[in-house]
Structure 1
Amino acid sequence: MNDLYGGKDPRDMPNYSIGDAARYLRIPQATIRSWTVGRYYPTTEGSKFFQPLISIPKNKPRLLSFTNLIEVHVLRAIRTEHEILLDKVRSALDFIDEQFKIPHPLAQERFRTDGVDLFIEKYGSLINASTKEMIELEKSLDTHLKRIETDEKGLGIKLYPFTRSPEEDNPRILVFDPRIAFGRLVIDGTGIPTSNLAERYRAGDSIEDLAYDYDCDSRSIKEAIDYELQLPAAA
C-alpha cells in the first residue's frame, strides 16, 4: 500500500485542504481551521491563542491527511448535538489519549469498541450533560463511526461521508480511500472520482452517457453527481 508514497502510509499524506474538508464533511471552514490549526481569540487581558485539537502535518500550505479527515468527521458528531465547548472537548480528548496511549485515537477501531463510553462519560461530566443529552451524543457518535471502515490493525482506511439527510439513512456509495485515486472522493469499488463525473455532467453529458463510459451503474453515478452539485463552490 505504501509503494507510491516512498514507504509512507498514504493515510498520513497531506492531501486535503481545509476548504475541501469543510465542503465534503459539511462543517464550517472556520470550525475545521480552529480544530486543526488553532486561532486567536479576544479576552479581557488581550488576544490569546487556542491550540488545535487535531494534530495535522506541518507542511505548508496546511493540509489534512486522511486520518485527520476521520478525526474531524468524528468530532463533528459532538458538534451535531452540542454547542462546542472547546475546552471541555480538549479535556475529554486528553483523557482518551491518556487511556489509549496511541496516536490519533479517534481514527482507531479501539475508540469505537472501548473509547466511546469513556469519552461520553468524561465529556458528559465536564459539561453536566443530562441523561438525554448523553444518549443523543452516543447515537450521533455511533452514526458517524459506522461510516468508517478499519484495516486489520484497527486503523481507519475508508470514510463514507454523509451524502443525504437524514444522516441515519445514508447509503455507502461514495468513499474516501487513501489507497485509491490519491484519496479523492470516488464511487466505492470503482476508483471513479466524483469531481470528474460532476465536471462532465456540467459540460452536458447525461447520467446514462457517464454510466456507459465508466461501465458503472446509473444509480451510483447519480449519487455522485447529486452530492457534488449540492456542495458549496470551492473557495
Structure 2
Amino acid sequence: MSLGLIRPAHPASNPVTQRTPTRYPLRDGADPAAAGVYGVSEAAGYLHLPARTVRDWAFGREYPTGGGRARSVALIEPADPNGRRLSFLNLVEIHIIASLRRVHRVKAQPVRRAIAYLKKEFGSRRPLLDHHMLTDGTSLFVERYGSLVSVSEAGQLHIRECLEAHLQRVEWDENHHPIRLYPFTHPGTTTAPRFVAINPRVRMGQPCIAGTGVPTAIIAQRHAAGDSVAGLAADYGRSAEEVEEAIRYERRAAA
C-alpha cells in the first residue's frame, strides 16, 4: 500500500475521525508558530488537559461576585482572542503551565502573578518561552509561585523538577525560539519517549510521528480500521514502538 493511501474508518467506531482539525491557509510571511490554528478542544486533546482548563487559562473565565459577575484575566495571550483560537506558542505555554497540575492544584492568581513577575524581570511578553526560562527563569518562577501559595521547600523542589521535565519536552532553535513540542503520551509520567512531535511547520501543527509528516491521527484511524501495528510500521518505515506510541497518544487525546 502506498504511503499516501489511507483506508477509511467508520466514523461511528473511530472517535479520532471526529476531531480531525480544519486548517486555513496562512497569510504570506505569517509565522506559523504564532498563527491561531488550534481550537480550545483541539489544543486540550493534544495536551491531554480538560477543555475547560485550557479555556480558562487562555481566555479567562467569568465568576460571581457580590456585585454581579466578573471575568478573570487569562494566564497567556491567545493568538486570536476574538476567534478563540490558539497558536503553537500558546500550546507550549499551556504545556509548561500544566506542569503545576502534576504536583499542585493550580491556583490561577499565583500563576498569573508569577508570570507577571517574570515579565518584569525579563522584559518579555512571553516569559515562559523566553530563553531565560531555561536558566534562572525556572527558579524565579517556582520561588515566586511557591511563596504565593505557601508551598514548602520540598514542594518547590518537586514543582521545579516537573517544570524542568516539561521544558525538556520543548525543542528550541539557535535563537531560543520553540520549534517543536513533544507532548507526553503516558499518563502520570514525565519520561515518555519523544515519538510524537508537534511542529507548526509540519502538517500545520498536527501531531505527527517525530521526524516525519505522518499525523498520529492517520495512524490511529488506520489501526481502528483494522491495520496491524506491524503493517503500519512497514508501510511508513517506522518502528512498531513509534506506531504504538502514536496510537496510544491518539487514544488519550480522543478520551
TM range (shorter): over 0.9
Q: What's the Cα RMSD here?
A: 1.7
Once the two structures are TM-superposed, the CA of residue 14 in structure 1 deviates from its matched residue by 1.1
The one-character-per-residue Cα deviations of 1:147-188 (angstroms, maximum 9, x if unpaired) are 011011101111100101442321011010111111110011
* Corresponding residue of 1:167: 189
**Count of matched residue positions in the alignment of Structure 1 and Structure 2:** 231
The one-character-per-residue Cα deviations of 1:111-153 (angstroms, maximum 9, x if unpaired) are 1112111111211221222111111111110111110110111
* Corresponding residue of 1:147: 169
Is 1:195 aligned to 2:217, yes or no? yes
* Corresponding residue of 1:228: 250
Q: How does 1:1-235 map to 2 (within 5 A)?
A: 5-58=27-80, 60-233=82-255
Runs of 4+ in 1 over 6 A off after TM superposition: none
| Structure 1 unmatched ranges of 5 or more | none
Return closer, same or farther for 1:47/1:60 CA change in 2, 3 Å cut-off.
closer
Once the two structures are TM-superposed, the CA of residue 33 in structure 1 deviates from its matched residue by 0.6
| Structure 2 unmatched ranges of 5 or more | 1-25
CA distance in 2, matches of 1:168, 1:13: 28
Between 1:209-218 and 1:40-49, the stretch displaced more is 209-218
Amino acid at match of 1:111: M
Amino acid at match of 1:172: R
The one-character-per-residue Cα deviations of 1:204-232 (angstroms, maximum 9, x if unpaired) are 11122222222222221111012212333
CA distance in 1, matches of 2:190, 2:97: 17
Amino acid at match of 2:202: I
SS at 2:29's partner residue? coil
Once the two structures are TM-superposed, the CA of residue 5 in structure 1 deviates from its matched residue by 4.9
SS at 1:41's partner residue? strand
Amino acid at match of 1:175: A
Once the two structures are TM-superposed, the CA of residue 44 in structure 1 deviates from its matched residue by 2.5
Counterpart contact for 1:24–1:231, Cα < 8 Å: yes
Considering fraction of residues, name the structure with more helix. 1
The one-character-per-residue Cα deviations of 1:79-113 (angstroms, maximum 9, x if unpaired) are 22222221111111100011111231212332111
Amino acid at match of 1:130: S
Counterpart contact for 1:175–1:188, Cα < 8 Å: yes
Amino acid at match of 1:171: P
TM-score w.r.t. the length of structure 1 is 0.92
CA distance in 1, matches of 2:178, 2:103: 23
Counterpart contact for 2:48–2:252, Cα < 8 Å: no
Return closer, same or farther for 1:213/1:5 CA change in 2, 3 Å cut-off.
farther
SS at 2:120's partner residue? helix
CA distance in 1, matches of 2:97, 2:80: 21
TM-score w.r.t. the length of structure 2 is 0.85
Higher relative contact order (CA 8 A, sep 6+): 2
What is the percent sequence identity of the aligned residues? 38
